[in-house]
Amino acid sequence: MDQVSLLLICGSVLVAATFLSFILSIFSRRWAVRFGAMDVPKSSRKIHKDPVPLWGGLGIALTLIVASIVLSSDIAFLSKISIWQIVGFALGILILCIGGMLDDKYDLKAWKSLIFPILASLAVILTGTSIVHVTNPGTSAALFLNWWTWHPFDNAFALSFPSDLLTLVWLLIAIFATKITDGLDGLVSGITVIGAAMVGILSVMRTYFQPESAIMAAAIGGAYLGFLPKNFHPAKQFLGEAGATIAGFCLGFLAIVSSAKIAIAMAVLAIPVADIAFVFLRRIYNHKPWYQGDDTHLHFRLLAAGIPHKTIVLLLWIVSASAGIMALSLQTRGKIFLVVTLALLTLLVSWTTDRMVKRRKVHD
């Protein structure tokens, strides 16, 4: 397969996934209204005034499961990504979809909602997807992480340490980065499209030519692109817990199967991850429960500082896309420097907006 053929296939997959996701979003919105899965504004964290249907992740999940079934029927596609890896991916999406829909409907306690991301991550790990190696920043050589391997069921599958542990941590970081960032209309949907596009572009390049991950990136990007018209401000439907967690799960999985291009995904997710870390540290410092949601996240502070909703979303999209594009041309050290710079930038912007919000309150 050459680059032109791959681009045509990716384009077809992108269009098909976008169309299917858009159609399914119409039905998922109706089902959310019918079964009472509505986001009713009850706290200061809610920026919408009227109830908005949830379960946006249902149409996205169904789109990705259909894509997984279609792709798994292609023998050529399975040359580098095994059928079991596709099964694990689809199973993880199904788990997150069920857990997310239950959480949207019944508002599960934090520890109960945590079970589903862990199970989804384990489904991926137990079906053969793992971070086998990382690049040594000092030498650019591969540092393999399967130091110890265990075959519990006669080579049916293997568990490796510390690679599987690192995979679990990475997937949970990606999942919660998009879950917690889902506070503004369209923000996470757009970031997911951008992240998938970055991995897809890298996978099409001659140096890293990987048709399988490029096609998967097109399917993931299309699934969220099709939902974006319903999700952009003012949103007619929210992603909900399922859609937000599946977003990070997809980007995390895609980064692994595309030869551990975690640095690319991390560059796109750098601001959400850094913001989460700073907010958690602030809560601990102020003796507040670290798991309890509040309005101190960066996107909420920017909104409180008087910046328009759409402007914030577009600005964060541009920063994420710019970070991803820069990461495409950087080596390992450069990518690490980029991520650290974005983290420091997030801290600076967060501190500045805090001061702006305090001044606004004084003047009001």
Residue with more model confidence, 73 or 275: 275
Contact 236, 48 (CB under 8 A): no
Q: For residues 182 and 240, what is the distance between their CA atoms, to the nearest angstrom?
A: 8
Contact 99, 241 (CB under 8 A): yes
Asked if residue 273 has pLDDT above 60, the reply is yes
Report percent pLDDT > 70 for the chain.
91
b/e burial code for range 172-198 (CB count within 10 A of at least 16 → b): bbbbbbbbbbbbbbbbbbbbbbbbbbb
Residue with more model confidence, 141 or 245: 245
φ, ψ dihedrals at 168, nearest 5°: -60, -45
Q: What is the pLDDT of residues 68-83, one digit of tens each?
A: 999 888 766 667 788 8
Q: For residues 208 and 217, what is the distance between their CA atoms, to the nearest angstrom?
A: 14
Q: Is the peptide bond before 308 cis (omega within 30 degrees of 0)?
A: no
Averaged pLDDT, 284-309: 81
Residue 141 pLDDT level (bands cut at 50, 70, 90): low
φ, ψ dihedrals at 160, nearest 5°: -125, 145
Helices of type H across 127-269: 163-181, 187-204, 211-231, 240-257, 262-268
Domain boundaries, the chain: 3-260
Look up residue 56 and give its amino acid.
G
Q: For residues 14 and 16, what is the distance between their CA atoms, to the nearest angstrom?
A: 6
Tally the C-alpha atoms within 13 A of residue 301's C-alpha that lie toward its C-beta.
Answer: 19
Q: What is the pLDDT of residues 312-343, one digit of tens each?
A: 999 999 999 999 999 888 887 888 899 999 99
SS3 (DSSP) at 235: coil
Helix/strand number for the chain, H first, E second:
13, 6
pLDDT score for 244: 97
Packing angle of the helix pair 211-231, 240-257 (nearest 10 deg): 160
pLDDT score for 356: 81
Q: Is the peptide bond before 234 cis (omega within 30 degrees of 0)?
A: yes
pLDDT score for 139: 65
Q: What is the pLDDT of residues 94-113, one digit of tens each?
A: 999 999 999 999 989 888 99
Distances (CA, A) of 52 to 105, 118, 226, 234: 13, 28, 18, 10
Asked if residue 242 has pLDDT above 60, the reply is yes
Helices of type H across 45-107: 56-72, 83-106
Q: What is the pLDDT of residues 151-198, one digit of tens each?
A: 665 555 678 888 999 999 999 999 999 998 998 999 999 999 999 999
Q: What is the pLDDT of residues 191-229, one digit of tens each?
A: 999 999 999 998 998 888 888 999 999 999 999 999 999
Tally the C-alpha atoms within 13 A of residue 154's C-alpha that lie toward its C-beta.
Answer: 0
